[in-house]
Amino acid sequence: MGQLLVIPSIDIKDGHTVRVVQGIPELECMQYGNDPVAMAMIWRAENAKCIHVVDFDAAREHSHKNFEIIEEICDSVIIPVQYGGGMHSLHDATQAINLGVYRLIIGSLIRDNEEEFIKILEKFGPQKICAAIDVVDNQVMIHGRKEKAGMTVDEYAKRLVELGVERIVVTDVNRNGMLSGPNLELSNRISKITGKRITLSGGIGDYKDLRYVTDHRNHGVDSVIIGRAMYENRFPCQKIWRVAESGIFS
Domain boundaries in the chain?
A: 5-231
Is a pLDDT exceeding 90 seen at residue 3? no
Is a pLDDT exceeding 90 seen at residue 46? no
The CA R_g of the chain, rounded to the nearest whole Å, is 17
At 123 the pLDDT is: 98
More confident call, 13 vs 73 = 73
Is a pLDDT exceeding 50 seen at residue 242? no
Closest CA to 108 of 147, 158, 155, 61: 147
Q: Kindly name the residue from 57, 134, 172, 209 that is annotated as catalytic.
A: 134
The pLDDT of 214-229, averaged and rounded, is: 93
The pLDDT of 142-160, averaged and rounded, is: 90
Residue 134 annotated as catalytic: yes
Biggest CA pair distance of the chain: 49
Residue type, 79: I
**Residue 209: pLDDT band by 50, 70, 90 thresholds?**
very high
Is a pLDDT exceeding 50 seen at residue 239? no
Residue 11 annotated as catalytic: yes
Which CATH entry fits the domain spanning 5-231: 3.50.50.60, 3.20.20.70, 2.40.33.10, 3.30.420.40? Answer: 3.20.20.70
Residue type, 25: P
The pLDDT of 67-75, averaged and rounded, is: 97
The pLDDT of 122-128, averaged and rounded, is: 97
Q: Which of 140-144, 150-154, 236-240 has the lowest mean pLDDT?
A: 236-240
**Residue 33: pLDDT band by 50, 70, 90 thresholds?**
low
Share of the chain above pLDDT 70, in %: 86
At 133 the pLDDT is: 96
